[in-house]
Amino acid sequence: MSNALDLNSISELKLHIKTFDEKLNEQFLTLPVQSLLKRRAKHIDEMLVSLWKMYHLHNTSMSLNAVGGYGRRALHPRSDIDLAIIVEQELTPQQQEQLSLFLTRLWDFGLDIGQTVRTLSESIASAKSDITIATNLLDIRCLVGSKKHAQSIKEQLYQDELWTSLSFYDAKMDEQLQRHNKAQNTALYLEPNLKNNPGGLRDVHTIMWIAQKHFSLANANALKTIGFLQQDEVYELLEAYDFICRVRWALHCVTQSAQDVLLFEHQAAVAEFMHFGQGDNSQLAIERMMRQLFRAMTRVRELNQIICDSFRLDTLNETERSNLDSIDKYFSVCNGLIEVKFTQAFIDKRQVMRMFKLLAENDNIEGIAPKTLRLLRQTRRGLLGELQDYQGCREEFLAILSHPKGLRKCLGLMHRYGVLAAYCSQWHAIEGQMQFDMHNAFTVDEHTFKAIQYIDSFALNKKNSLTYTIYQNISNRFALVFATLCHHLSGKQTIENSELSAIQAKELAEEHLLKGSTTSLIYWLVANQNLLISAIQTQDISEPDVIKHLAKSVGSQDKLNALFLFTIADMMATNESYWNDWQESQLTLLYMAIRDALKQGIENIFEVRTVIRENQADAKPLLLQQGIDETRLSAFWHTLPNNFFSSNSVADIVEITQHILTTEPGTTRVFAGQNSDHGFTSLFVYTQDRAKLFVDLFKTLASSKLKVKDAQMMQTKDGRVLEIIKVLDHKDEPIDDEPRIEQIIKRIFRAIERRERPRKLMTPRALKNFDSPPVVTVLHTTKKNRALLKVNSLDDPIYLEQICNLLSERNLVIHSAKISTLGECTENVFMVSNAEKTVFGHDEQLKLVDIIEEEIA
C-alpha cells in the first residue's frame, strides 16, 4: 500500500478502493478472473494490515485472519469480507477500544464486514458444533499476528476429532441437497442464482472443501496435483468455474451490490460488460451469454456428482462393493448404481439408450455409477452424429417414452447428462435457450422437461381430481408425451413458431416410424398448443358460438382430453404462480363446454375411422401370432360396435379378443386386465344380454366396496353384451390382491346368473350433505328410433341404480352406456329405445327427461 495514503481520511480510503477496482475492471478482458480475485484480495489484505497496525493491534496477542471466500483469496467486487479475530486472553479495556475503532473504520469506508472475535478454544468448539463455521475456518488465512492461531485451527480440522472425513462429507452433501431442492433441482432458471443454484459456485466449493478436509490441503488449488480429479475434469471444471466467476464479477460491478441472482433487468448490462454485445444486439448478446452460463452450470453440476460419488466410493470407501448383480453382458448393478462391465460397452450406441431403459425397468437401480458417467461423457463428446441416427437408439428411446416409469425416472437423467441433446439436434438447439417474456422462469429445454414431469404426475394425482380421471381415459398417452417433448422445438412461444415446432415434431415422429394417427395427433397438439389458453384469455367462453367454433377446431373427445392435459402441464411448467385457481376454473369450464358440444355431433368421424383401421391393423397380427383363427377373429370383430376399436388401446383389444376367442362360443367370460400400471383395475364382462344386467353388475361392484371410475357397455350384433369397467378399491388404489380379484369375479358370475342379489346401495358419507340434483340432457344422435341421454350427477351409486330402474320400468332398452367420473361428479350417457324400437320423437325424449329429473331429484 502507498505510504502516502492517509489512513485517517475516510474519503481518501474510499477513493483508493474505487480507483483500484476500476483498474481491475479495465483488465477484465485481459486477465484471468482468478488473478483479478486474488489481486483484489491482496489489495484488501494490505489495507487491513495497515489499519490494524495504525490502531497498534499488532502489538497485542491477537491475530487477524481472513476466512471464507476472502480466505481463499477469491474476493469479488462486492463480496463480504469475512474476518476471524483470534484472541489468546481476555482483552483489556484499551484493546477493546482499539479493536472497536478498527472495525468501525472498516464499516466507514464501505466494506461489508463479517467478523467474529473468539479465543482459540472457542473457535475450535464452534467448528465442532457447526458445519458452516467449520467450513468457513477451513479457508482461514493469517493476515497479521500470530500465524499459530490459523495453523492450530487447520490442524484440528484436518484431524478426525472435530469432523471425520465421512461425517464432514455427509454434512456437506446434506447442505448441497437442501440447496438443490430449494432450487427445484435445476440449474436452468432464466434468473439463476450464480452462487447457490445447482451448478453454481457452491457446487465447486463443496468439491474443494471435501478434498481439503480429507487430504489436509492448505490450498484448494492443489486439487489438480494430487490425482483426485482426472486431467480432463480439472480443465473442464476450472473453465466452467471461471466463467461463472466472471459473470458474478460483472454482476457485482453493474449492480454495485453483492448480488448473486442474475435478474432480467441486469442481464443486458452484464452481457455488455462482458462484451457479448449491446444496443440493438442486446437480446442476442443476452442469449449468447446465458447459453454459455447454463452450459457452464450444467457441467459443474455433472462433474460435482461424478466427483462426489467417486470420492465417497473410491476414496472414503464408505460402501464396499457388495450386492453385485449382473443384468447381462453389458451391465451390472452394484450398491444401487448401474455400471458397464467393460469400457467398450458404448461402442454399440444402442447401449447408451438401453442403459436408461434399464433404469426404468429395475426398481433396485437408483442411479449411474461414477465411472460409467465418465464413460458416458466421453462417448457423448466423441459422437460424430446424433444418437437417433441409429435404429437401435430410436427403438430404445420409444421404449423409454412408453414405459410407465420412463418419464419419472429416466428422462430427467437423460436431460441432466446431455443425452437428449446428443440424441437429436432439435433438442440440442433449445438447450439453454432463453425465453424473453414476463411469465417463464426456465429455459426452453427445462420448461419442456418440467411440462413432461407434470404430464407424468397426472397419473399419481388424488383419485378424485379431474386431471387424474381424464388422464386415465387418454387413449394415446404416447402421443401426448411426444407432443409435449416437441412443443417448443422452434425455441419460441408464438403462434407462428408453434406451427414451426409442429412441423419439426411431425418430422421427428416420422423418423421414428410412428403410426399415421399418432403422428397427426402430435402435429395437431403442437400446432394448437395455445388454443385453450388463448380462448380463456381473449374470448367470451360463455358464448355458444365461441364454444361451437372451438369444438369444430378440436374435432374429437380424444384430442380435447389430450389438449386439456397438455395445456395444464404447459402452464404449470411456466413458473410457480402462473397456474392458479382462476386459470383452473376457467379452463375446466371451457373443457366441459367443448365436451358437451362434441357430444352434440361435431366429432370428426374421419379421424375416428382412421384410429379404428390402425388399431385393427396393429391388433390382428398379434392375435394371429397367438394362434387365433383368422376367420373366427373377423366374425367376432364384425359383431362389435366401432367404438370398441376407437376407445380402447391395442393392448386391450388384443387381451379382450384373446380371452373371448380362446373359449367355446357362447361362453360367459369375466376376467381382470393384466396391467394395473395405469392406476386402475380393468374388469371385462362378455355375456348374453338381459334386462337390468348393467345395473346388477354396477350394484355388485359398489356393494363390494369398489369405486367405478369408468364403464362402457356395448351391445353386440349377436345379442350379447361387452362391458369394460375400470375400478379402484375404497382407498382409491388399484386391486393387486389376486384372491380379492378372484372373489370379485365370482360375485360377478353370480350376479349374471341372478344367484346373488346385491345389497342395497348407500350414499357415500362425503356426499350426504350435498344437495345437487342430477341434470339430464338429450344429445344428438342420427338414429331416429333411439335417444341419447346424458345424466350429470354427484358420484353417488344410488343415482345410477335409480336411472336404470326407471328406464326398465318404462320398458326402455339400454343399448349402450358410458360412465365417466369427473372429480366428485359422474357423467352417465345412455343410448336407449322403446321395446318396439319405433321412432323416438323429440317430444317423447323431452318427456323422458322430465320424468327422470322428477323421479330422482
Q: Which of 48-57, 80-89, 208-217, 391-400 has the lowest mean pLDDT?
A: 208-217
Confidence of residue 823 (pLDDT cuts 50, 70, 90): low
Q: Transcribe 694-731 into DSSP letters.
A: HHHHHHHHHHTT-EEEEEEEEE-TTSEEEEEEEEE-TT
Q: Which of 499-503, 721-725, 764-768 has the lowest mean pLDDT?
A: 764-768
Is the predicted pLDDT of residue 824 greater than 80, yes or no? no
The residue-averaged pLDDT of 776-788 equals 79
Give the DSSP letter of residue 600: I
pLDDT tens, residue by residue, 85-97:
999 988 889 999 9
CA–CA distance, 409 with 400 (Å, rounded to integer): 10
- 8 A C-beta contact, residue 439 and residue 290: no
Burial status of residue 442 (CB atoms within 10 A of its CB: 0-12, 13-18, 19 or more): buried
Is the predicted pLDDT of residue 766 greater than 60, yes or no? no
The residue-averaged pLDDT of 505-519 equals 94
pLDDT tens, residue by residue, 169-228:
999 999 999 999 998 888 888 899 999 999 999 999 999 899 888 888 766 555 565 566
pTM of the model: 0.76
SS3 label, residue 334: strand
pLDDT at 767: 45
pLDDT at 602: 63
Confidence of residue 307 (pLDDT cuts 50, 70, 90): confident
pLDDT at 769: 45
643: which 3 cell numbers? Answer: 367404438
The residue-averaged pLDDT of 566-592 equals 86
Q: Measuring CA to CA, how many Å separate 697 from each of 246, 322, 685, 727, 805?
A: 70, 53, 9, 12, 13
Q: Which of 434-438, 717-721, 824-828 has the lowest mean pLDDT?
A: 434-438
The residue-averaged pLDDT of 496-520 equals 91
Average pLDDT taken over every residue of the chain: 86
Q: Which one is predicted more confidently, 420 or 319?
A: 420
Which uninterrupted H or E stretch holds 178? helix 165-182
SS3 label, residue 481: helix
The residue-averaged pLDDT of 2-24 equals 81
21: which 3 cell numbers? Answer: 477496482
pLDDT tens, residue by residue, 123-138:
999 999 999 999 999 9
pLDDT tens, residue by residue, 442-455:
888 889 999 999 99
Enumerate domains of the chain plus CATH numbers.
10-162 (3.30.460.10), 167-315 (1.20.120.330), 319-401 (no CATH), 770-857 (3.30.70.260)
Is the predicted pLDDT of residue 852 greater than 90, yes or no? no
